[in-house]
Amino acid sequence: MKLLSAEISIELIFLNCAREHKIVSFVFREPEGRKSGLIFLAVASFALLYVIYNQIRFGGGINPAVSIGVPFTLLGLAELLPKNKKRLAGGTRIAAVVICISLIIYI
């Protein structure tokens, strides 16, 4: 019985490592290029223009659209980097996710 449980735990460790490898390879992949980056930046500029409009029109606190605009700006910049900048693109993607989560928690 102990041998069976040890085999199962070893298989689970390998499955977890494979899953982590997929996440790391997805985050630190090479940038997709100009088209994808410009789409991200277009969404970000629309969201940030909406925030500016609401600040001028209604004034006051932070707008939930900031939690969309700022991460999409970072994701757009990550996609516009040269193909050989995988690590910098991955770091930018991680920063976008961290900022998005922190803004959602804050708002």
Contact 94, 75 (CB under 8 A): no
pTM exceeding the 0.85 threshold for the entire prediction: no
Report the pLDDT averaged over residues 27-53.
86
pLDDT at 10 over 60: no
pLDDT at 92 over 70: yes
Contact 103, 74 (CB under 8 A): no
Domain ranges of the chain: 31-106
How far is Cα 9 from Cα 5, in angstroms, rounded to an integer? 6
- For residue 2, the model assigns a pLDDT of 45
Other C-beta atoms closer than 10 Å to the C-beta of 68 total: 20
Report the pLDDT averaged over residues 12-39.
72
- For residue 16, the model assigns a pLDDT of 56
